[in-house]
Chains A and B, each alone.
Chain A
Amino acid sequence: MATLAYREIGGKSGRYWALVIGSGALVAAGLGAALYMRAHGHHVTGMTNQIVWGMPHVFAVFLIVAASGALNVASIASVFGRSPYKPLARLSGLLAVALLIGGLWNLVLDLGRPGHLLDAVMFPQWRSIFAWNIYLYTGFLVVVGFYLWFLMERRLERHSKTIGLVAFLWRLVLTTGTGSIFGFLAARRAYDTALLAPLFIILSFAFGLAVFLLVLITASSALSRPLGERLLKRLKGLLVVFVAAALYFVAVYHLTNLYRAGYRGIESFVLVSGGVYTLLFWVIQVGVGGVVPLVLLLTAKTRLARRMVVASAGVVVGGLAQLYVLIIGGQAYPLRLFPGFVVHSSFYDGVIHPYVPHWPETVLAVSGVGVTTLIVLIGVRLLPFLPASLADEAIDVHGHKGRPAQAPKSVVPSP
């Protein structure tokens, strides 16, 4: 039985409070933006009848996809029995919950009439993947909540494998549901493929791990808690595999569309002529989010922790760009009502729809990240989510060391 020491953080440093106040301000600003949108109607945003979903949805989908992926580290430990990841399981669960709540924050506050949300529970429509997602998301929070409880309560820890398995399966279904929000839309050429569900699962692996690494490494360095090189190397290996797999799925998605004659329009739009979407695709999504992290992780020789922070940040930025291209680019490309014809109308049929994010929706979008940060900051201070030490000796692979290297009585965060 591992007796690894976990410890709440002191949370008294100026940096901690700056982060709390910063993310709190972000949350307040997001709430204000949402109320402003409610009061004036969505015409104050850049979203239109053609670009139906905008920035809040890009961030929401990123956060929700990353949420299910952030749980992976815990799943690897509990379900697949890789003990070196065990000390990371609690943080993994906390991040999953925080990211999901951040994503839901965006989605709910962007609704035209959030006050009527209960109607979705009163009149469930099982043909709607959205209705399913309401239960998948809330159920995920419950399951991960129980999972965290089982991980933190010593008497229940024996059963954490079972609940871990439930959580793992749940998150697979959840990401399938999120991907299917788009994958089930036969009307739009960019979405109309079953590939989106598995693509989103692979993306969740990469996004979730990247966010997890960002939090883990910055927290360890800020708290001066040791972080073993061997553990980092394992995580690096995982990130490399996930980023490469994501790139592979993106390649298959685009090659399939290129091969099908009817889909070449949307492909040439995204890959060649789409302006900002083309730029985002090649430079940010593929470059910053895929190639650069891989090269950095596999070849560069600087300190591993620093490389991993940069690579993870790249994956996060690339992921946001990827969802921007998919969600907004997919709407910017016009619907084809009359294939083969040039179409004109007062409702912008047949033209590329412009989208300029305005401040209310952008502030709301970013505030989802603020919600996530705030939950994590409060969580790690109230409950022992973070291990006192992640030095390689403390979390030996074969884990029979009994006690970790004597942890200091109180952990003093670096000023």
Chain B
Amino acid sequence: MTDPDSFVPQDTKAQAESEDSCDVGRRRLLAMAGGVAVLALAPGVTVWARTMRAKGLVDAHPVRYGLLIDANHCQSGCDACVRACNQYNGLSGQTGPDNAQWIRKVTIQDPKTGFTRTFPVMCQHCAKPACVAVCPTGASFRRADGIVLVDKHRCIGCRYCLMACPYQARSFVAHKVDDQKPWAPRGKGTAEGCTLCVERIDRGKLPACVAACARRGHKAMLFGNLHDPQSAIAKRLAQYASTTIRADLGMEPGVHYRGI
């Protein structure tokens, strides 16, 4: 892999298998415990656990993709990540109140000290996302690898997810769209938000914003598997203090920030 935009997917297969053996262990334990009631419950429990895991409700999956955004390295005046996102996903780049923005540069200033920071904010890909909880059709969903997406086949355009998201990370498509990119379907009357460039990730490439930031040499954005202790992002998170936006809400964002 010589492509600078690539990331190496770690061997998830081995982990998947180790999970299997864990499953077997649990079954053995249950069998030893015996009892008709327990045996009767076991299949249900296993199915339940599987369903919960498949739905991403239990965060025991070997993969959880996330970002670490280092505000110390993010340059004010640079919006390479925003432009890369707009270009790759076919957004207009307009910033009117009814235009969609999947990622935005936010500047914060402490009025007492004058401390200023600038950094990008996008969908935080929460472990317990409010947008998924409120969606009446399940169009808002969390993929098993932690990416929060809108399944536009099911979206009815009620905008309850826009109401519920504490990060204002969702947009509603208020205009007719006919210049979509083949890899980023989007249409009038549906909700949408950052997909973490899911289609690039599935091809083993970095999200467009992360790749653009790296190309600029700023390296303010790091992408990786939060659940793999060997990944660069997990190591960095273990080494330095970091935070998440509105951690008090308990939604456990997958996007971490340093230096704010």
B-contacting residues of A (Cβ < 8 Å)?
38, 40-43, 47-53, 111-114, 116-117, 119-120, 122-123, 125, 127-131, 134, 181, 184-188, 331, 335-338, 340-349, 353
A-B contacts at CB below 8 angstroms, number = 169
A343 partner, pick from B106, B176, B249, beta carbons under 8 A? B106
Query: Does the CB pair B175–A344 fall under 8 Å?
Result: no
Please indicate the chain B residues that have their CB under 8 angstroms from the CB of A111 in the complex.
156-158, 189
Query: Does the CB pair A49–B98 fall under 8 Å?
Result: yes
A125 partner, pick from B107, B109, B136, B167, beta carbons under 8 A? B136
Residue of B nearest to A42 (CB): B174
Q: Interface range on chain B: under 10, 10 to 19, 20 to 34, or 35 or more?
A: 35 or more
Query: Does the CB pair B121–A337 fall under 8 Å?
Result: yes
Query: Does the CB pair B172–A345 fall under 8 Å?
Result: no
CB distance from B108 to the nearest CB of A (A): 4
A49-B174, A111-B158, A122-B137 given. 11 additional CB < 8 A pairs?
A: A111-B157, A112-B172, A114-B156, A120-B137, A125-B135, A125-B136, A127-B133, A128-B135, A128-B136, A185-B134, A349-B104
Sorted nearest first, the 6 A-B pairs with minimum C-beta distance are A112-B157, A112-B189, A187-B166, A48-B97, A130-B136, A43-B174
A129-B105 in contact given A113-B157, A119-B139 (Cβ < 8 Å): no
A186 partner, pick from B82, B97, B109, B166, beta carbons under 8 A? B166
Please indicate the chain B residues that have their CB under 8 angstroms from the CB of A48 in the complex.
97-98, 174
CB distance from B166 to the nearest CB of A (A): 3
A184-B134 in contact given A52-B162, A113-B189 (Cβ < 8 Å): yes
- Decide if the interface of chain A is mainly helix, strand, loop or mixed: loop
Query: Does the CB pair A116–B106 fall under 8 Å?
Result: no
Query: Does the CB pair B135–A112 fall under 8 Å?
Result: no
Please indicate the chain A residues that have their CB under 8 angstroms from the CB of B189 in the complex.
38, 41-42, 111-113
Please indicate the chain A residues that have their CB under 8 angstroms from the CB of B110 in the complex.
340-342
Please indicate the chain B residues that have their CB under 8 angstroms from the CB of A120 in the complex.
136-137, 156
Query: Does the CB pair A49–B100 fall under 8 Å?
Result: yes
A335 partner, pick from B135, B166, B174, beta carbons under 8 A? B166
Residue B198, interface by CB 8 Å: no
Query: Does the CB pair A346–B133 fall under 8 Å?
Result: no
Residue of B nearest to A45 (CB): B174
B176 partner, pick from A40, A186, A336, beta carbons under 8 A? A40
Give bound CA distance, A48 to B153, whole Å: 22
Query: Does the CB pair B245–A188 fall under 8 Å?
Result: no
